[in-house]
Amino acid sequence: MLGYLVRRLAQAVAVVFAMSVIVFVGVYAIGNPIDVMIDPGATQEIRAKLIEQYGLDQPLWQQYFVFLANVAEGDLGTSMVYNIPVVDLVFSRLPATVELVLVSVTIAGVVGIPAGLYAGYRPDSIGAKAIMALSVLGFSVPTFWIGMLLIMAFAVNLGWLPSGGRGDVGEVLGLHTSLATADGWSHVIMPAINLSLFKMGLLIRLTRAGMVEAMSTDYVKFARAQGLPDRQIVFRHILRNISIPIVTVFGLELGSTLAFAVVTESVFNWPGVGKLIIDSILQLDRPVMVSYLIMVVILFVLINLTVDLIYARLDPRVRLKGGA
């Protein structure tokens, strides 16, 4: 196991390094942030001073190695727009995104997996067909359109929920979170449902496919011949055997939700990292864009490693190369 972890960590470092080069070059090609930061009527002296201040007068390769040296010291640079360290800026927005993602993936898992099990256990029932139809809608309907419908229905017409924002923040175990207040929950529930629909549809279809396949296997037939109740067969035997693809998708979707909750945060004016990166792209805030994208790469690498380690725990047939 130790050898496997060392190899995977070495691969992770190589992936992060390669992606940092791609991200840095790609962001550099987007445009010159100085053109956005200063007034078009500014003098050439002011323009040249800003370019020198941010190190944009250096060759690209030299800018990249300066960036790597700063990252090694824990410095991701300073935002050109907000004029504060990128680390402080991102971590000031990160709690709001984490709250939204945790609630959305919880909704997707709590609803999607049992619904998929039922749809696979009774595939010809009316309820199963209705569940599969709703899962197709979760795939097909654009997120921003569903978000606007939710706002129109529950905020404008019914007036039950606020249309946007984060709401009041409370403190739990030293952490400041809007999930500690009723007002915070009223603000998070709509964007969380909106963000969870695609993941929910994916989990429903994946769980149903595994359930249908497992129902025809010999171990299920033997379990029924022994007189085991259906609940025990489904939750103790079938769910355990189909859990690997579910865990894989759930882990990757958790990472993608955390990294790319951009549309939902924009529609509901949620003050998270997704909205920050949209604003940074519009304003060509290069340090924020580069740091955010590299953090996303690191996030996905860590999630993939975690999912691989969970494999061995869920299914004893899976053996990690280099360790039992």
pLDDT digits (tens, 9 = 90+) for 116-134: 888 888 888 888 889 888 8
> What DSSP state is assigned to residue 156?
I
Tokens of 256: 């993608």
pLDDT at residue 43, as a whole number:
67
pLDDT at residue 3, as a whole number:
65
pLDDT at residue 311, as a whole number:
66
pLDDT at residue 40, as a whole number:
64
Neighbouring-strand partners of residue 49: none
Nearest to 51 by CA among 69, 65, 33: 33
| Number of Cα atoms under 13 Å in the Cβ half of residue 318 | 15
Neighbouring-strand partners of residue 78: 85
* pLDDT > 90: percent of the chain: 2
Average per-residue pLDDT for the chain: 79
Contact (Cβ atoms closer than 8 angstroms) between residue 193 and residue 199: no
181 torsion bin: left (phi>0), alpha (psi -120 to 50), beta (else): beta
* Highest-scoring range by mean pLDDT, 48-62, 206-220, 234-248: 206-220
Nearest to 13 by CA among 298, 320, 291, 299: 298
> What DSSP state is assigned to residue 177?
E
Q: Which residue has the higher pLDDT, 197 or 227?
A: 197
- Listed by start position, the domains of the chain span 90-284
pLDDT digits (tens, 9 = 90+) for 21-53: 887 777 776 666 666 666 666 667 766 777 776
Residue given tokens 């007002």 in the structure block: 183
pLDDT at residue 322, as a whole number:
45
Q: Residue 2 and residue 15: Cα distance in Å, rounded? A: 20
pLDDT at residue 317, as a whole number:
57
pLDDT digits (tens, 9 = 90+) for 74-117: 777 778 778 888 888 888 888 888 888 889 888 988 898 888 88
Gyration radius from the chain CA atoms: 24
* CA distances from residue 277 to 187, 195, 285, 293, 296 in whole angstroms, order as listed: 21, 17, 9, 9, 12
Question: How far is Cα of residue 52 from the mean position of the Cα atoms in its chain?
Answer: 36
Q: Residue 219 and residue 199: Cα distance in Å, rounded? A: 30
Q: Would you say residue 220 has pLDDT above 50? A: yes
pLDDT at residue 37, as a whole number:
65
Q: Residue 114 and residue 82: Cα distance in Å, rounded? A: 45
Burial of 80 (0-12, 13-18, 19+ CB in 10 A): buried
pLDDT at residue 320, as a whole number:
47
Burial of 267 (0-12, 13-18, 19+ CB in 10 A): buried
Q: Would you say residue 323 has pLDDT above 60? A: no
SS3 85: strand
Q: Which residue has the higher pLDDT, 272 or 153?
A: 153
Question: How far is Cα of residue 3 from the mean position of the Cα atoms in its chain?
Answer: 29
**What pLDDT band is residue 249 in, cutting at 50, 70 and 90?**
confident
Q: Residue 178 and residue 271: Cα distance in Å, rounded? A: 12
pTM for this structure? 0.75
* pLDDT > 70: percent of the chain: 85
90-284 under CATH 3.20.20.150, yes or no: no
Nearest to 111 by CA among 185, 192, 201: 201
| Positive or negative: CA dihedral 32, 38, 39, 43 | negative
Q: Residue 177 and residue 45: Cα distance in Å, rounded? A: 46
